[in-house]
Structure 1
Amino acid sequence: MGVRIPPGLPSSGASPIRGFQVVNEIIKFLREVKVELKKVNWPSRKETIGSTSVVLVVVIIVAIFLGLIDIGLSRLI
């Protein structure tokens, strides 16, 4: 019963053809991303400002609420 030794790997590493395929796939992916981003219905400046304002107000309210809870619980201990 002998030990089989698998054939050695190529000494040059990855083939240059495979490297070009990877680069071409990346370029293809980026082109497809660009096409998809053109299809996106981006919000207007007014909508963005309105949404941002709502988020900031909610964050401030939650921060105040948690701060009051923290102060209240720390005085109990």
Structure 2
Amino acid sequence: MSRRMCWLSQAQEGEKILHLQLSPDEPWKPYTAFRQFAVPDYPIPGGSKGWATYQKLLKAGWTLVHSSRAQEFTLKDTSVVKNS
């Protein structure tokens, strides 16, 4: 299975949080949407949202994708849907 993760900005906040993707044909979703994988965040003021989950999933063999590359895939997927 192609499980991937990346750090993407939330639409309103601009703060990057961990996003997950179970397969390339699925959209990126915030880690909080995956209760089966997410673990509680560290209680550090200003800490990254999803850092504890990132560490867990990295150890489990998930692949980290650069944010610009993840956004590139998202834009391509969106243009294919619009042009269909």
Same fold (TM over 0.5): no
Which one has the bigger helix percentage?
Answer: 1
Which one has the bigger strand percentage?
Answer: 2
TM-score range relative to shorter protein: under 0.3
Question: Please, what TM-score do these two structures have when normalized by structure 2?
Answer: 0.23
Larger RCO (CA under 8 A, 6+ residues apart): 2
